[in-house]
Structure 1
């Protein structure tokens, strides 16, 4: 269930961070972050792509309200959602890459399949 990890931040800060990370992932296709953040970003990204597959007015308003860049939201409806039309989930992949040098936090790459 997305939203159960607090990630050491206040609610508004956590929401803003997740929105930015989801937008960046949808824009570039791949990001590098910690494993716990990657799991949260994966859950939210898959919800956004599933909403975009419906392609009606209500889903467009929901996606546009969550994604921070209008061009990325348009890309979700035009390019990303049609690519996953016949797929029932599992749009993202998390690959663990080992500990971070500074604080030994477990790092991962999250990418769109």
Structure 2
């Protein structure tokens, strides 16, 4: 029974799901835009929003939290330097999901998730 279950399970155990979301978060923060399935993009959105909100605070504790989540430390450094100028006046909604054509092999709904400027 999955009534009121808030997180998408993505067909994986918890450890694999967390690793997948961490790697997708790192890729999105590195490239600014990635193509993935719609369900993964919706699950990724809340993770990225939380990371950017932590980076906006700019504290040492927030930096340590983000360092513990994002795989690439250079991405964390660049995020903390650029986030105040990029998202200083925005109170949320740092990502945008654009639905694209279904995947050719299995017709899974695909989407592009990108960081909003």
Task: Summarize the Cα distance change of 1:67–1:81 in structure 2 as closer, same or farther, 3 Å threshold.
Answer: farther
Unaligned runs of 5+ in 2: 1-5
Shift of 1:75: 1.2
Q: Where is the strand percentage greater, Structure 1 or Structure 2?
A: 1
Larger Rg: 2
SS at match of 1:108: strand
Q: What do residues 24-74 of structure 1 show as CA deviations (whole Å, max 9, x unaligned)?
A: 000000000000100111110010000000001110111110000000111
Displacement over 4 Å in runs of 4+: none
Aligned residues: 111
Conserved 8 A contact 1:50-1:81: no
The 5 Å alignment of 1:1-113 reads: 4-113=7-116
What SS class does the counterpart of residue 5 from structure 1 fall into? coil
CA contact (8 A) 1:49 1:81 kept: no
- Structure 1: stretches of 5+ with no match in the other structure: none
The Cα RMSD (Å) is: 1.0
Structure 2 Cα separation of the partners of residues 55 and 22 of structure 1: 19
Residues 71-113 of structure 1 show CA distances to partners (whole Å, capped at 9, x for unaligned) of 0111110113431011000000000002100000000000001
